[in-house]
């Protein structure tokens, strides 16, 4: 740096231009406008594209012993947030209607969009205790995704499974143990039927785990699962490969049941050491059968004594035992496959066998099946994974013989099946052919043929390997219920729902035994943790708010009925639409509320701003006073604030204040800030922009008011602190900060604005609301809080999540008013906000376990293999990455993972809302209070870089030319010229790819010209000095100053 300063002190003659001096090497790949059409030989392009190709799929040669997640639905946090933002959160959402477990899908996706992953997990687990498994393996294209309304648009349906997977993966890392519904009676106060009744569940697969979880939520204390294996999960553990469903996911879902009190006894086999009747004789009053189908369906052709003939029931358990760490006491050995493997069948299991075969050493895999592609039983998710991994598909083929040599399989013989006009398939005996292979794996489905098991089920009837049940999951035996594979519901999600359904009707059956009544409509408890017990109430100006979230005086409070529905949804308070005396009644124009343009061309929900030219309420003061009285009678614990407006008249303010107080309102909000329309009537903004008027009006209201008074401040002033101080001097109990910002949103191509009114298409300045004004509102809250410490502030302006609400509280707000976020969705967002805030407070009390987390976002995970850190993800480098990952995978398999699963508990008292109000103010101040001695620099984590060059371009054209961009790898490198401006991090599309780290070298500003230099004396500029600096250090390029000149 000192050498650089010395070089730049060199003076040049007056004929040299400072503005022309730059580093050609640094700017070599910076975008330039084309002035001519590009001419390039196609052969050159064909050669170049191989270097830059990203969508080349990895085939089997790189998959051997690699059981990492490969599902195309798996999302990172960045992808999850973008996908969640696309969701329309539809009314009467068809996705939920198509989910067998009836998950409230739009609500959990809404929580993800606001980074409230706990709230998302709560919505999922409330209806589906196996939600993480289902998020990974559900055939969503046939269920929720298949019903998504966005399927009607060009961008396609939402990746619901991927979002469910992401939310529950984050929740799993939170390690929060479940508890029973805190609103239900504690266990010790439940009737004897809950702790006396013994309930047995046979099998520990998805159906039984789901049933046990809901029974424990209801309060049953003697729930036991009997599992034949030494591990839980059933077919989820033994037959779904690790790369689709890791074993630690099954362990997590098992803990969700055992943490509530369920017990599991391993080594208990139906037909071995237990039977239905023996359990009944041992006092179990209700039994749930959730066993799988243990035997494979095998074609007689394959019953030959040849090596190399396998079936899914023998092959997949061997694969999972060898790849799922922690499932068995010691890892087994993968089946040793080689050469060409043929898989027979077209269901999901067949494709699991095919993709697993690559990981067991197969060089080539072919899936042969009897029907055509349009009649395949496998869901698209399974087929797409297999084809991505270069599995070959062979339709219309029926195996008729196998051939071998020296006891080893060598060929499978097929005949072709043809589909005729009647829709049926017929064999074509003349179309026979042989397919050379080393192994054949049959996957024709499963059944129950074991006589010992069938006999052990007595007195339950078994027909064709299935147990028949009614809509309550009850068998022919009243005290026996069943679900899952054994009843014909083979999907994990359907098995989960079977267990869920059975739990309620088992509950009803048991309670009737004890002569207790049960509601006709099922009332299964939802999912809870200690997070849900966190108190988020707050007291402001002597008023207790149930939670800090309420409705602003805006479109959501247009009528009393809307406020009623908001209270029923869980909002803590509401500010009525502003009303006035009858002489000041208004009539609104239309159109008057339009979407903003600050978020670009975004349509549907998620608007970053709205603009409105709506005035105050069209309803009379009498209507609102009666409404307030009725609402307070029905919701005595909720807070209602009456918003009132008058002109600068003491008599009018006295009259309206008395009416509002008499109605029973908890407080008054004085609308002195409406930015359009009302100011022209000498009301609203006309009264709120001058401090002495605010002081006078506040004092007039306080003369007659019996409740706290909060003047609503306008941001359309030079310094909002002056207005707040005036309100304080007038006797206000607090203020509301702030109202909408006056603006003109946009002009259309013909020069008219939107909204435009009437045939003349006229408009006026309106109030801008939503996220676009959040920085203004946050600054206003902070400024007022610093000017008037401890003065209550009702904050409003762009609050759309628990995260944002917490920001306002830390900046000094007491409670939070919401409007635009509801306009974007509906009243139910309150669940998201309250649960999210509870979670953030609980995490803060947990301390160290959440170190490194950013609110509810877990810390980023960077590559550990050195080679992966500097390899791009395209072309020839991608193959090197696959090899490096394979080596890293092998290394990790030699070590047992050490991941703690112990539940996290709060280590400190959980903060109350009052404890965090204003907690950030001590770090907010003037510029002169900032240090000039501690600087940062950008650091690029190249293993996360996608090589877009956004950091390079912004640094070149709006920064300090401190980033180089490699022409072959497209990896950026930050040089010592970085001043820590943070532009690169701001435009980077990948979260945590760029990190600002403490600078280790002295940071001295580059002045360009030394202080005191006369303007006509020209010196070298920063970019050129950089090149010369590298030359002095004998780095490339070595360009002499004379040569450059």
State how far the Cα of 894 lies from the Cα of 307, in Å rounded to an integer: 30
Are 912 and 842 contacting, i.e. CB atoms less than 8 angstroms apart?
A: no
DSSP string, 434-493: EEE-SEEEE---EE---HHHHHHTTTS-EETTEE---TTSB-SSTTEEE-SGGGT--SHH
Token pair recorded at residue 824: 């974007």
Token pair recorded at residue 601: 């061309």
State how far the Cα of 737 lies from the Cα of 734, in Å rounded to an integer: 10
Q: Smallest Cα–Cα separation from 209: which of 523, 492, 532, 467?
A: 492
Token pair recorded at residue 221: 């204390």
Q: Which residue has the tokens 């004897």?
A: 192
In order of 284, 524, 651, the CA distances from 498 in angstroms are 20, 14, 68
Q: Which residues contact 684 (CB under 8 A, 6 or more apart)?
A: 616, 645, 671, 672, 673, 674, 675, 677, 678
State how far the Cα of 193 lies from the Cα of 507, in Å rounded to an integer: 10
Phi and psi torsions of 416, nearest 5°: -85, 135
| Peptide bond connecting 377 to the previous residue in cis, omega within 30 degrees of 0 | no
pLDDT tens for 537-553 read 999 999 999 999 999 99
Token pair recorded at residue 284: 């179990």
State how far the Cα of 900 lies from the Cα of 686, in Å rounded to an integer: 61
* Chain center to CA of 181: 24
| CB atoms near residue 477 (< 10 Å) | 17
DSSP 495: H
State how far the Cα of 63 lies from the Cα of 216, in Å rounded to an integer: 42
pLDDT value for 891: 58
State how far the Cα of 730 lies from the Cα of 700, in Å rounded to an integer: 8
Are 240 and 322 contacting, i.e. CB atoms less than 8 angstroms apart?
A: no
Rg of the Cα trace of the chain? 34
CA angle 318, 139, 175 (to 5 degrees): 70
State how far the Cα of 84 lies from the Cα of 106, in Å rounded to an integer: 9
pLDDT value for 1031: 43
Q: Which residue has the tokens 């205790």?
A: 129
**H or E, element range at 796:** strand 793-796
Handedness of CA 598, 603, 609, 611 (dihedral sign): positive
> Up-side HSE of residue 146: CA atoms within 13 Å toward CB?
13
**H or E, element range at 427:** strand 425-436
pLDDT value for 58: 57
**H or E, element range at 810:** helix 802-810
Q: Smallest Cα–Cα separation from 732: which of 665, 669, 823, 799?
A: 669
Which residues are 438's β-sheet partners? none
Spans in the chain with pLDDT lower than 70 = 1-16, 18, 20-22, 57-62, 329, 886-899, 1016-1045
DSSP strand pairing (972-974 vs 963-965)? antiparallel
Rounded to 10°, the helix 105-113/160-174 angle is 60
State how far the Cα of 681 lies from the Cα of 63, in Å rounded to an integer: 74
Which residues are 392's β-sheet partners? 366
DSSP string, 1026-1041: HHHHHHHTTPSS---H
State how far the Cα of 58 lies from the Cα of 411, in Å rounded to an integer: 27
pLDDT value for 735: 98
SS3 state of residue 911: coil
Token pair recorded at residue 615: 């005035």
State how far the Cα of 831 lies from the Cα of 29, in Å rounded to an integer: 49
DSSP strand pairing (766-769 vs 610-612)? antiparallel
Alpha helices in 33-129 (DSSP H): 42-52, 77-86, 94-97, 105-113, 117-127
Are 386 and 272 contacting, i.e. CB atoms less than 8 angstroms apart?
A: no
Q: What distance, in Å, lies between the first and last C-alpha atoms of the chain?
A: 23
Are 346 and 370 contacting, i.e. CB atoms less than 8 angstroms apart?
A: yes
pLDDT value for 1001: 87
Q: Which residues contact 550 (CB under 8 A, 6 or more apart)?
A: 571, 572, 573, 574, 575, 639, 641, 815, 816, 817, 818
Token pair recorded at residue 351: 């494709």
* Chain center to CA of 757: 41
Token pair recorded at residue 177: 């143990």
Alpha helices in 219-298 (DSSP H): 235-238, 247-258, 276-281
| Peptide bond connecting 738 to the previous residue in cis, omega within 30 degrees of 0 | yes
The H helix count followed by the E strand count for the chain is 35, 39
pLDDT value for 657: 98
b/e per residue 112-135 (b: at least 16 CB within 10 A): bbbbbbbbbbbbbbbbbbbbbbbb
Are 224 and 200 contacting, i.e. CB atoms less than 8 angstroms apart?
A: yes
Token pair recorded at residue 442: 């049959």
Are 794 and 735 contacting, i.e. CB atoms less than 8 angstroms apart?
A: yes
**Which positions are catalytic?**
674
Token pair recorded at residue 554: 């805006």
pTM assigned to the model: 0.93
Q: According to the 3-state scheme, what is the secondary structure of 336-395?
A: CCCCEEEEECCCHHHHHHHHHHHHCCCCEEEEECCCCHHHCCCCHHHHHHHHHCCCEEEC
Length of the chain: 1045
């Amino acid at each position: 740096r000192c050498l650089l300063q010395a070089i730049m002190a060199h003076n040049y003659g007056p004929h040299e231009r400072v503005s022309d001096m730059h580093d050609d090497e640094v700017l070599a790949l910076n975008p330039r406008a084309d002035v001519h059409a590009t001419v390039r030989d196609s052969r050159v392009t064909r050669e170049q594209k191989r270097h830059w190709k990203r969508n080349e799929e990895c085939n089997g040669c790189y998959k051997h012993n690699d059981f990492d997640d490969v599902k195309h639905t798996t999302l990172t946090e960045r992808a999850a947030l973008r996908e969640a933002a696309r969701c329309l959160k539809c009314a009467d959402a068809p996705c939920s209607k198509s989910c067998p477990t009836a998950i409230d899908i739009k609500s959990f996706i809404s929580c993800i969009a606001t980074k409230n992953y706990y709230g998302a997990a709560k919505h999922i687990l409330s209806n589906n205790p196996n939600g993480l498994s289902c998020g990974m393996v559900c055939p969503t294209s046939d269920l929720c995704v298949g019903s998504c309304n966005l399927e009607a648009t060009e961008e396609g349906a939402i990746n619901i499974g991927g979002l469910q997977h992401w939310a529950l993966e984050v929740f799993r890392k939170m390690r929060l143990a479940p508890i029973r519904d805190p609103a239900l009676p504690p266990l010790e106060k439940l009737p004897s039927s809950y702790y006396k009744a013994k309930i047995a569940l046979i099998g520990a697969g998805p159906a039984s785990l789901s049933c046990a979880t809901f029974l424990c939520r209801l309060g049953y204390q003697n729930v036991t699962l009997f599992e034949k294996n030494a591990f839980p999960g059933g077919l989820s553990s033994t037959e779904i490969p690790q790369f689709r469903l890791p074993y630690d996911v099954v362990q997590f879902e098992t803990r969700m049941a055992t943490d509530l009190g369920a017990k599991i006894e391993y080594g208990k086999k139906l037909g071995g050491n237990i039977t239905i009747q023996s359990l009944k004789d041992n006092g179990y009053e209700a039994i749930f059968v959730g066993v799988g189908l243990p035997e494979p369906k095998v074609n007689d052709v394959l019953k030959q004594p040849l090596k190399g003939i396998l079936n899914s029931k023998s092959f997949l358990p061997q694969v999972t035992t060898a790849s799922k760490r922690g499932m068995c006491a010691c890892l087994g050995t993968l089946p040793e496959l080689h050469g060409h493997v043929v898989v027979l069948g077209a269901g999901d299991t067949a494709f699991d066998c095919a993709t697993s075969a690559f990981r067991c050493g197969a060089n080539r895999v072919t899936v042969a099946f009897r029907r055509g592609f349009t009649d395949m039983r496998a869901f698209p998710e399974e087929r797409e994974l297999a084809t991505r991994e270069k599995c070959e598909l062979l339709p219309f083929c029926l195996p008729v013989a196998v051939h071998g040599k020296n006891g080893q399989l060598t060929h499978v013989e097929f005949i072709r099946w043809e589909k005729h006009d009647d829709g049926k398939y017929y064999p074509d005996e003349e179309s026979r052919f042989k397919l050379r292979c080393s192994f054949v794996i049959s996957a024709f489905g499963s059944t129950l043929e074991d006589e010992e098991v069938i006999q052990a089920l007595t007195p339950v009837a078994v027909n064709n390997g299935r147990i028949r049940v009614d809509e309550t999951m009850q068998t022919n035996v009243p005290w026996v219920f069943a679900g899952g594979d054994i009843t014909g519901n083979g999907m994990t999600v359907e098995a989960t729902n079977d267990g869920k359904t059975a739990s309620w009707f088992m509950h009803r059956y048991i309670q009737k035994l004890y002569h207790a009544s049960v509601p006709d409509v099922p009332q299964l408890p939802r999912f809870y943790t200690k997070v849900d017990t966190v108190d988020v109430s707050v007291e402001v100006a002597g008023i207790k708010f149930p939670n800090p979230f309420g409705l602003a005086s805006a479109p959501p409070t247009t009528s009393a009925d809307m406020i009623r529905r908001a209270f029923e949804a869980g909002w803590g308070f509401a500010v009525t639409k502003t009303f006035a005396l009858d002489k000041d009644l208004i009539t609104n124009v239309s159109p008057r509320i339009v979407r903003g343009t600050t978020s670009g061309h975004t349509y549907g929900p998620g608007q970053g701003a709205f603009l409105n030219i709506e005035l105050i309420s069209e309803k009379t003061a009498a209507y609102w006073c009666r409404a307030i009285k009725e609402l307070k009678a029905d919701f005595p614990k909720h807070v209602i604030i009456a918003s009132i407006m008058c002109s600068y008249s003491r008599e009018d303010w006295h009259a309206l204040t008395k009416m509002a107080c008499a109605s029973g309102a908890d407080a008054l909000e004085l609308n002195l800030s409406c930015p359009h329309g009302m100011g022209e009537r000498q009301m609203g903004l006309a009264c709120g922009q001058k401090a002495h008027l605010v002081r006078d009006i506040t004092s007039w209201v306080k003369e007659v008011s019996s409740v706290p008074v909060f003047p609503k401040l306008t941001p359309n002033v030079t310094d909002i602190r002056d207005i707040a101080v005036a309100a304080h001097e007038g006797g206000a109990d607090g203020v509301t900060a702030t109202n909408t910002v006056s603006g003109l949103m946009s002009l259309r191509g013909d020069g008219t604005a939107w909204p435009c009114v009437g045939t003349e298409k006229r408009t006026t300045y309106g109030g801008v609301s939503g996220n676009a004004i959040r920085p203004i509102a946050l600054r206003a809250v902070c400024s007022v809080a610093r000017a008037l410490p401890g003065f209550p502030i009702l904050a409003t302006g762009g609050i759309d999540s628990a995260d944002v609400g917490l920001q306002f509280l830390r900046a000094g707000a007491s409670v939070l008013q919401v409007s635009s976020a509801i306009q974007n969705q509906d009243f139910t967002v309150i669940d998201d906000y309250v649960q999210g805030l509870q979670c953030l407070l609980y995490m803060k009390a947990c301390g160290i376990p959440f170190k490194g987390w950013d609110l509810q976002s877990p810390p980023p995970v960077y590559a550990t293999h050195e080679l992966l850190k500097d390899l791009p993800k395209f072309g020839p480098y991608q193959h090197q990455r696959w090899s490096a990952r394979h080596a890293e995978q092998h290394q990790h398999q030699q070590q047992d993972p050490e991941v703690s699963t112990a539940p996290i508990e709060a280590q400190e008292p959980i903060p109350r809302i009052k404890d965090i109000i204003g907690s950030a103010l001590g770090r907010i101040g003037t510029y002169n209070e900032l240090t000039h001695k501690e600087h940062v620099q950008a650091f690029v984590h190249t293993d996360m870089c996608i090589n877009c060059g956004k950091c390079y371009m912004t640094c070149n054209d709006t920064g300090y030319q401190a980033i180089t961009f490699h022409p072959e790898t497209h990896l950026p490198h930050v040089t010592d010229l970085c001043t820590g401006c943070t532009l690169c991090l701001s435009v980077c599309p990948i979260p945590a790819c760029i990190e600002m780290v403490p600078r280790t070298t002295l940071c001295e500003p580059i002045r360009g010209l030394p202080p005191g230099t006369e303007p006509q004396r020209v010196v070298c500029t920063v970019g050129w000095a950089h090149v010369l600096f590298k030359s002095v250090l004998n780095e490339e390029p070595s360009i002499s100053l004379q040569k450059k000149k």
